[in-house]
Structure 1
Amino acid sequence: MVDVGTGRRPVSRLRTRLLAGLRSRILAVFAVEQDRPPQWTLDLEDGIDTGFFTPDSAAWTVHGGVETMVAGIRALLLQAAHPGALAGVHDWSRYREDPLGRLDGTIRWIFTVTYGDCDTARRTSDYVLKLHERVVGEYLDAHGVVRPYAANDPDLLRWVHLAFTDAFLSVRQTWGGRIPGGADAYVADWALAGELMGVVDPPRSEAELARQLRGYLDAGDLTGGPRVDETLAFLRRPPLDRSLLPAYGILFAGAVATIPPEYRRILGLRTAHLGPIPLPVVTATRVVLWVVGLVLHGESPSQRAALRRHRRLADPPAVPGP
């Protein structure tokens, strides 16, 4: 039956309202008002160059996919396996009191480096490093030795970079489309972001990424423990709108499923099972991501702003004659 006044079926109008409500709740997670992007995303239209990455690059493509929601969870899970990296988060981060604020800061850095001009990417990375200067303390390493830590320590920066790169690459390979240039192109692209953050000689191929990650495992530098358990409990059930928790639970399970077994054992994570039967979390995650993509629809505000900058630079306004 069609509504005479609108020409639209009541079911269609209901679906539209439901999607709009879901969209607003999802955007709220990322501190975005409905249909009003943060000013920093709009500012990505400014700048005098196209930035480090172009629309046909691996980094631009990977970071523009809806599956990055899973990648963010996976990166945080793997990063927690290093007690030095986790100590800085535990001692200094306000993720418990303001998890969305911390998430917003991370998203801002990723998108600014990916889609902004070169100067903005450098300034944003320098700002993050400046914030890190006060993040110092001590931690008990995996060998039972008390060690000092600093957020800008090259070894800790490397671990965070490796966990991030591996997460976004693995998730894209599981649920995303093709990567321009393949996996090696993405690792090489994001090596530049690592260098902006002070990582010395970051990996530039998928094989080198795996080798450097394995180095931490083989050295016995990764461990679980009470702090890891506390962090994982928070990530398993963060303070989201209750209507989003079922879908988030599936995304969390999907993130866990992509972590290799040797790292899952350290973290004390298991893939989702119903008794002895493994659950189809990869398929379920694909469905959730499809729905989220349908709700959010299209390129992100950061991508659109960057594309406007690219078009402006490709076709500068004519200079009036004398």
Structure 2
Amino acid sequence: MSAPGSHLRQAVVDQVRRLVGGTGDDTVERNRADTGFFGPDSACWKVHGDLASMMAGGITALLVQMLHPGALAGVWDHSNFRGDMTGRLRNTALFIAGTTYGDRAEAQRHIDRVRAIHAKVRGTLPDGTPYSADDPDLLTWVHVAEVSSFLAAYLRYVDPAFPPAEQDRYLRETAEIARRLGAVEVPESRAEVEAYFRRVRGQLRYDHRTREVARALLSQKPPSGAAAPAMALAFDAARDLLPDWAARMHGFRLSPARRLTARLGLNALGRGLRWALTNSAEARARRRAAELAQLDSRATAPLAVDRAPVA
């Protein structure tokens, strides 16, 4: 007999896999040789482990990123954003999961793949300025927009009491991935992130192309109609998470009632997903980390020595 709620739990798991990819297969975990760049005690394992907040934060990150002309041009010129924005979200989710919870070799493969893609993404802005996806400054912008959004979502929807020192540790840890991608002068604390945003805001723009890409993102239909209500909540929660200056540039004005609905709804969605996703990427990685720790303790345990009785 099936456990109570098992069919509902599996239905939720199936919907999540259609949306963000992944197989839930422990075979991958068994083949991992180590706990990656960060390990189970890291801040980023916590922040990246909650799907609902990561969904909202990921959408927020895209809305912030597209305010930079170089980032916008890469999407406009080199992607099918009108027809497959969910594919972009899925690729981002797989990259984050792989670089956070994969072993070092797996994480580096993800990074190398992205660097190879970036090397082909280049062009010219409408004003004639050349751009390239592997430009170190542009990579820093994309990274900061991303991790600041993930952290904001985690603080709102998972752990508002997450200590400031742990928030800075999260930014310090994830800066390692940015540098491996080619970013430079990567902010490693909340204060440095705020200073960075103040410094680059003069470079940001909002025009008809930004509006069209944002519209394409926020009107995307999920792979299954059953996930549509969850995506609608995530879209509003993402708007709500935007820094004030970014929301003003986009012209987003959520009413108090809609803002409250988004927050309550995403909190409920988060609880439901945490109940259903007992075999999430984080859960599997933590099980494997415990196995590796056990193997390591056995390998380093002192050997028992038989001693002959003293005559």
**In the alignment, what sits opposite 1:188?**
172
Does the CA-based 8 Å contact 2:81-2:213 persist in structure 1?
no
Does the CA-based 8 Å contact 1:44-1:306 persist in structure 2?
no
Is 2:16 the counterpart of 1:26? yes
Does the CA-based 8 Å contact 2:240-2:259 persist in structure 1?
no
Is 2:148 the counterpart of 1:166? yes
Please report how far the alpha carbon of residue 199 of structure 1 lies from its aligned counterpart in structure 2 after TM superposition. Answer: 1.0
For 1:246, give the aligned amino acid: P
For 2:266, give the aligned amino acid: T
1:139-154 to 2 correspondences below 5 Å: 139-140=125-126, 145-154=127-136
Deviates more, 1:175-184 or 1:64-73: 175-184
Is 2:258 the counterpart of 1:271? no
Secondary structure of the residue aligned to 2:124 is strand
1:2-41 to 2 correspondences below 5 Å: 17-32=7-22, 36-37=23-24
Distance between the aligned counterparts of 1:102 and 1:45, measured in 2? 28
Distance between the aligned counterparts of 1:280 and 1:129, measured in 2? 39
Aligned equivalent of 1:115, options 94, 101, 122: 101
Aligned equivalent of 1:126, options 112, 128, 138: 112
Assess, with a 3 A threshold, how the Cα gap between structure 1 residues 106 and 278 changes in structure 2: closer, same or farther. Answer: closer
Does the CA-based 8 Å contact 1:50-1:313 persist in structure 2?
no
Is 2:35 the counterpart of 1:55? no
Distance between the aligned counterparts of 2:162 and 2:109, measured in 1? 28
**In the alignment, what sits opposite 1:243?**
226
Distance between the aligned counterparts of 1:271 and 1:191, measured in 2? 32
Distance between the aligned counterparts of 2:111 and 2:16, measured in 1? 27
Distance between the aligned counterparts of 1:225 and 1:269, measured in 2? 14
How many residues get paired?
297
For 1:69, give the aligned amino acid: M
Q: Deviation per CA, 1:126-147, whole angstroms, max 9, x where unpaired?
A: 221011111010113xxxx331
Query: Structure 2: which 5+ residue stretches go unaligned?
Result: 304-311
Query: Structure 1: which 5+ residue stretches go unaligned?
Result: 1-5
Please report how far the alpha carbon of residue 203 of structure 1 lies from its aligned counterpart in structure 2 after TM superposition. Answer: 0.9
Secondary structure of the residue aligned to 1:146 is coil
Deviates more, 1:163-172 or 1:86-95: 86-95
Please report how far the alpha carbon of residue 309 of structure 1 lies from its aligned counterpart in structure 2 after TM superposition. Answer: 4.8
**In the alignment, what sits opposite 2:185?**
201
Secondary structure of the residue aligned to 2:123 is strand
Secondary structure of the residue aligned to 2:203 is coil
Does the CA-based 8 Å contact 1:64-1:299 persist in structure 2?
no
Is 2:273 the counterpart of 1:283? no
Distance between the aligned counterparts of 1:170 and 1:305, measured in 2? 24
Q: Aligned-residue CA RMSD in angstroms?
A: 2.8
Please report how far the alpha carbon of residue 314 of structure 1 lies from its aligned counterpart in structure 2 after TM superposition. Answer: 4.4
Assess, with a 3 A threshold, how the Cα gap between structure 1 residues 199 and 254 changes in structure 2: closer, same or farther. Answer: same
Does the CA-based 8 Å contact 1:49-1:313 persist in structure 2?
no
Aligned equivalent of 2:49, options 56, 64, 68: 64
Assess, with a 3 A threshold, how the Cα gap between structure 1 residues 18 and 112 changes in structure 2: closer, same or farther. Answer: closer
Is 2:201 the counterpart of 1:211? no
Distance between the aligned counterparts of 2:103 and 2:13, measured in 1? 29
Is 2:271 the counterpart of 1:300? no
Secondary structure of the residue aligned to 1:149 is strand
For 2:264, give the aligned amino acid: T
**In the alignment, what sits opposite 2:291?**
311
For 2:74, give the aligned amino acid: G
Higher helix proportion (structure 1 or 2): 2
Assess, with a 3 A threshold, how the Cα gap between structure 1 residues 244 and 154 changes in structure 2: closer, same or farther. Answer: same
Please report how far the alpha carbon of residue 289 of structure 1 lies from its aligned counterpart in structure 2 after TM superposition. Answer: 1.9
Secondary structure of the residue aligned to 2:129 is strand
Secondary structure of the residue aligned to 2:45 is helix
Please report how far the alpha carbon of residue 244 of structure 1 lies from its aligned counterpart in structure 2 after TM superposition. Answer: 2.0
Does the CA-based 8 Å contact 2:20-2:94 persist in structure 1?
no
Per chain length, whose mean CA-contact separation is higher, i.e. which structure has more relative contact order (CA < 8 Å, sep 6+)?
A: 2
Assess, with a 3 A threshold, how the Cα gap between structure 1 residues 285 and 154 changes in structure 2: closer, same or farther. Answer: same
Please report how far the alpha carbon of residue 19 of structure 1 lies from its aligned counterpart in structure 2 after TM superposition. Answer: 4.5
TM-score with structure 1 setting the length: 0.82
Assess, with a 3 A threshold, how the Cα gap between structure 1 residues 215 and 254 changes in structure 2: closer, same or farther. Answer: same
Assess, with a 3 A threshold, how the Cα gap between structure 1 residues 47 and 212 changes in structure 2: closer, same or farther. Answer: same
Please report how far the alpha carbon of residue 93 of structure 1 lies from its aligned counterpart in structure 2 after TM superposition. Answer: 1.8
Assess, with a 3 A threshold, how the Cα gap between structure 1 residues 272 and 19 changes in structure 2: closer, same or farther. Answer: farther
